[in-house]
């Protein structure tokens, strides 16, 4: 844990085998971390169509995640819903990397 709302959620070493990692922040909040290049994006691990885990989905063009359940797509940087059946954005969280460690900010 660090000050000012930043929570340590892992390190870059966690992505050696996959570009996705799920962290449970509290009972009703799981965050999906997605590593793209030298950045890590943080989105809620819940599709806004039917609450299925986005961590089961696939990354397209390093900027979109596609839910495998019914095909909704979201921009991993903005959370914007980009394809039906989802119309509501997914929650996104600020992230930063310091000394190989990953932090996200939960408001």
- Can you give the binding site for ligand FES, defined by CB under 6 A? 47, 49-50, 52, 67, 69-72, 85-86
Q: What is the DSSP letter of 34?
A: E
| Closest CB to ligand FES among residues 9, 32 | 32
Q: How far is the CB of 73 from ligand FES (least distance, A)?
A: 9
Task: Please report where in the chains the tokens 């169509």 appear, as a residue.
Answer: 49
| Closest CB to ligand FES among residues 2, 22 | 22
Q: How far is the CB of 47 from ligand FES (least distance, A)?
A: 3
């Amino acid at each position: 844990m660090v000050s000012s709302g930043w929570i340590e959620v892992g390190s870059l070493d966690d992505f050696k085998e996959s570009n996705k990692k799920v962290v449970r922040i509290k009972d009703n909040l799981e965050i999906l971390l997605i590593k793209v290049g030298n950045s890590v994006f943080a989105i809620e691990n819940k599709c806004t169509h039917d609450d299925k885990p986005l961590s089961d989905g696939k990354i397209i063009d390093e900027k979109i995640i596609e839910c495998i359940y019914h095909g909704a797509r979201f921009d991993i940087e903005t959370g914007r819903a980009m394809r039906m059946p989802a119309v509501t954005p997914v929650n996104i969280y600020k992230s930063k990397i310091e000394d190989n460690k990953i932090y996200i900010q939960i408001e």
